[in-house]
Structure 1
Amino acid sequence: MENENQQAIAMDNQPLEAETTHSMDDIMPHLMGSLIESANDAIVSKTLGGIITSWNKGAERIFGYTEAEIVGKSILTLIPPERHYEELEIISKIGAGQRIEHYETVRRKKDGTLITVSLTISPIRGADGQIMGASKIARDVTELRRAEQELHASQERYRTLFNSIDEGFCIIQMIFDENDKVVDWRFLEVNPAFEKHNGLVDAVGKTARELLPNLEEYWFETYGKVALTGTATRFAAGSEAMNRWFDVYAFRVGASEERKVAVLFNNITQRKRGEAERENLLKALEVERAKLAYLFNKAPAFVATLRGPEHVFELTNPSYLQLIGHRQVVGKTVRESLPEIEGQGFFELLDKVFRTGEPFNGREVSVQLQREPDGPLEERFVDFVYQPTFEADEAVGGIFVHGVDITEQVQARREAETANRMKDEFLATISHELRTPLNAILGWSRMLGDSRLGETERAQAIEAIQRNAHLQTQLIEDLLDVSRIITGKLRLEARPTDLSAVVEAAVESVLPAAQAKDIRLQRVLDSGTNLVSGDPNRLQQVVWNLLSNAIKFTPKGGRVQVRLERVNSHIEIIVTDSGQGISPQVLPYVFDRFRQADSAMTRQHGGLGLGLAIVRHLVELHGGTVEAESAGEGQGATFTVRLPLIAVRSAEVSSERGEEREHPTGGQGVPFDCAPELEGLHVLVVDDEEEGRTIVTLVLEKCGAKVTAVNNAADALRILQEQRPDVLISDLGMPGEDGYSLIKKVRALPAEQGGQTPAAALTAYARVEDRMRVLRAGFQIHLPKPVEPAELIAVVANLNGRHNIS
């Protein structure tokens, strides 16, 4: 091309020879001219003096000058002044006949813009072979060089990044078998951080299996998929072969058929270990938190946390809610949650602790709480601490409340103090009560030795000695009775007893005392049969104590009444007086030992305060109850004793029932009658002894009751749930499962399954402690063997009247 151009230029500068005989000679000049004009490169010819002699269209496009503007001008027009020296060097070489190729330099366009050109310069010879000028082909390589520079800069940036990034980086070429299954890869490039992250040395040119024979298949499958699909992937994975964890970003590079993958990765082993440690710490923390929550919720101490100056509840444990009564407090202020403690000083204490940051310790502090909605205020005693809690800036942020409800301990201590005081008072009373009659006895006995004592005085002395000796005997008997009660040695000699006679005898014994105070003593006795099974002496002691108390506390000219009346299957002894009455504060304790309404040294009435305690115990030993009522001081009092009744069979009753029945009799041969309440009553009898079951069944069936008898507790429980009997009579000592276990299971049942069935324990265990255990276990009555048929009938009838035993 260049030779052709040079020849064309040479032809331009020499006269053409006309050759008309050869057609090619005619065509060639025109062809060469067309080629020059259509060339993209600038084709310029110049003299050795540097004057431009020809200028094609390509030169016009590159430099901006038209042919008319530039031909005849110096070539230096196109050369920046600082490069004029180049023209001298070029002319020198051309003059020497040298050809200059790919001479890259800078030239100036018409608008002054500098461009980079690549020059090819050839000498132009004349017909004589002498060099007469130069042909120059100029190619604009400005954009090419700019692109090359940018590429170089990009490569430099890439190389700098490649070498300086902290992440490991490599380019690998995946190796597949004939089925396009990846089998390995080869490392093509790695950056300096590569080795630091994975520990592989001199990896370039080596395969993965060569460096890591035990590398997991996961890595091959993952990178192979990227190479095949071109889909980049980001993942974190661990390698046992390298004993490391990596965060990886993999993407395909180059053409798909090259199967190249770039891998950018970080060694995150430490991070993973840190995460594992953190996870373990979190689990341990959760375990500790669970332990703390368990302790928080199960702690017997009450705990609450309060936030901010308004003291908003954040947390409370069950013990705290048990103290204040179960209410919703979390998220509410103390004032909003516990309005009833306003004025008790607690709000002021909380404010002070929050303001000063100083804790407060309270010991045996009384607080009035409304523990039930719309309920009364209850006094509780607490030991507690208000402990401030602090924020990061050491400012008080809240209050930690911790304490113990010591109400029971305080009450127990006060009761113990009261009991101790009562003991002291009782000992003082004993001393007083024993010394008073002893003083009279000793005084009068000494008087009897005085010969000057007349007969009247001597008779008065003897009467006083006897009276005071009797009084002292009674005091000692009361003390002995209390001792027997406490030790369980008080015994009854039970037999069918007519209460009418008992009451009459008791009235006769207290009549002189009533007459001495001008008290009207009235008897109202039921004319019917009033038989009970009991000890007549002890029953007389009960009535005597009640009448003596009534007379003692009734002022002169007052009234005392004793009534005896039958009510259903039991009999009531009611003693009423018009005396000083009993205050509401004392009434609940009148049957307690050593309790007296007036225990001061200036008390108006003597006695040890044991009489009513003995009355209650004796009544309960007889299977009965005693209660006291009074409208208040100055309103008198009423004492009511209820005892199970033994009904005596009479011809009238037999006639009404229309039949004659044979009944077993007790040891005294006393007949019995049937209570009407037994007719149709369903009774479940449990006793492992056949004779015992037979006797009870016979007595009850003779009185019209329906009886189901079994010999073990398991059958009894089943029948009780299936048939729902009205009354349960059970022995205690049975093989396998005893009566205590049976009643425990019965009482655990819902009411609709018989859980509240009235029950009596029929047993040969007859001690006082046995009776107390029976009642505590859930039975209503303790019935010692042997039992009188009439007593059994009365007990069953009485039990049937107790519809609600809860």
Structure 2
Amino acid sequence: MVLDAPAPISFYWGPDCLYFYNDAYLQVLGDKHPAALASPFWGSWEELREGFTPILAEALAGRACNLSDIRFTVVRDGVPETAYFSYALFPVFDAAGNVAGILNPAADTTATFISNRRREFQLRLGDLLRALTDPAEVVAEASALLGEYLGVGRVAYLTVDDGGAAGSVGRDWTNGSLPSVAGTAVNLDDFGIFAAEGARAGRPLIVGDASTDKRCAPYAHAYAALGVRAVLAIPLLKNGRLRVILNAHDAAPHRWTKAQVGMAEDMLERTWAAVETASAQAALRRERDESEYIFDNMAEGFALLDPDWRIVRMNAEGLRLTHQTTAGVIGRSHWELWPDLLGTPVEALYRQVRDQRTSGTIDIPYTLPGGDVWMEVRAYPALEGGLALFFRDVSARKQAETQLREADRRKDEFLAMLAHELRNPLAPISAAADLLQLGKVDEARVRQTSQIIGRQVRHMTSLVDDLLDVSRVTRGLAELDMQGLDLHRIVTDAIEQVTPLIRMRGHHLALELTPAAPLVMGDRNRLVQVFANLLNNAAKYTPEGGHIGLRTEVRPGNVLFHVTDTGIGMAPELAARAFDLFSQAERSSDRSLGGLGLGLALVKSLVQLHGGTVTCASGGLGQGSRFTVCLPRLAAQEDDGAGVLAVEPALHDGGGPLRIMVVDDNVDAASILALLLESAGHQVVVEYDARDALALSTAGSWDVFLLDIGLPGMDGNELAQRLRAQTGTAGATLIAVTGYGQESDRAQTAAAGFDHHLVKPVDIDELFAILATVTRAGA
């Protein structure tokens, strides 16, 4: 029966279990045949003794046994191979009822077993991939599962670069028999051109034993470096490009079956899809988390509305701005929360954005529990007909815009006033010039005309000086000559300057000064300017016959000066900005009171430079005004001679007429200056070009040179330097006559060798005073 059966059958005979079998059983024995024939069972299957002994004992005891899918390592074609068999052990009894042998029919169930295993692998892989969301975990867990089913030492997932020539291992799995290669960079050509080109073509690499595979011999070092003899590499191409290679490694030779290759291909394809999905989901989660972080931390409010106007989401800043809570807004209608916006431009904007799918912006005033605010709202169309709203408090911006508009209005008014103020003196100057050109004017009329021109020029000069002064001081360019001062004397000097105007307008000036003279550290001229401006302001804006008061008040650390008047007063809004640049009260079109309204801005800047403050108060229009200056007090012991004011040096007469050269490319300016100097008895020569003047300077002796700075070709500074370098003119007095009067301009002329710096139009009294100090050459 055994010999004739087509299925594999063996028979164990006698107490030694002598082994007999048919030809079909040879597939189970492999290379154990023919040595196993008629030999004891354990001689051929020693490796099964531990697990098989109890089963064999059962059969020898007379009990039949059935075993399914028992794993055997069989050698086929010289290569060890794992196979699975199902078989039964049936005891065979002799006439006495004793077990004489064991009949062992067997069936090779390897194909069925592997098919079932592959199906089981696919199910487990599917369950595994569904549960994972991190791409790295997907690769790691799937690699471990494949390694377990293939029975190999390592599974590595190699990501290939865009060129398809190299890659790197992100995550791998090992059973301990091989080290991890995670993070290793791999060059595909190192493992053979056949391997690299096959991978790029999408063909799997199957190496059962690298030590005997002739293809691998030239690249044995690369395989040895990985510690492998068996390699299964499955490439994956997407859109014609090699993306990844799945590698299964074993340290021992391995016969790769079609089933195992199929399992690896299944794993790679499904893992790639899972990795792509997980990567996309991770990117979406990152975008969602980033969006949530941005929205929750942005400096403006955000709200998302669904098509039915319900609030789906609002960030923390939005809740703060609207004084709401998350529970109080989510799911509620926008119009239920803010019903007062219905029927307003806000509703119209929202409906336009929702219906036309275009964005829009609006600024709205709104009253919130915290007060009135201006809110900027930007609306954008959202998905499924909803709205995305961004809003922020722009009250500060609105206030700044209002202030800028007001400042711009005041600037325009100031410029119009400046133009008017400058045109006023130009009219009589122009008329006087026309009168003088008639030629038939008697000496008295010429004198009167000259006086008119002089007054108007001085007035224009004062206007320009005010503009320059306020510019220098407000920009912090003014330099203070600080010394200890008796402010009673400062007040006296200021009153002296304003007395003519007070007398002209018939005002009564009341002084109330403290007995002890308060001392401060300051600049004498600038503080006189401060109090003169305040008193002048009071005199101009108080109707004739009014009252002006000046009172001092001494405190432990400060000195206060109160200037009061019974004048026109100020409205509250004007009093609040009285010291702003370009700010002034309404004026009549005839500009009868004069001035540019710069005085108070200058007062404030100068007082602040002295470490003090100045304030303004008024009961309203017609109620008069009060200005209070507060300055830090200087203790008497700190004075070191405070109160002793510097005395201007006395001028002394010169020794007779001087020889003067005037150099100016402005013919009219040079000519009129020469006439004035000649009228005072001086000998004057006029030159309009710097080089001609330099050439003429070597002829004769010269006492004074009056040089314009802005000369063509060679400027006045260079001309002065050359005059100083000449022996004949080195000792002459050099006077700069220029339209530039900044400190930097004065420093340049001083460096060039000038003795004096006069600003156009020249103050004739100042010029004559300078000339009076000059000694004639050779005297």
* Interval of TM-score (by shorter of Structure 1 and Structure 2): 0.3 to 0.5
Normalised to the residue count of structure 1, the TM-score between the two structures is: 0.44
TM-score by length of 2: 0.46
Who wins on radius of gyration, i.e. which is larger? 1
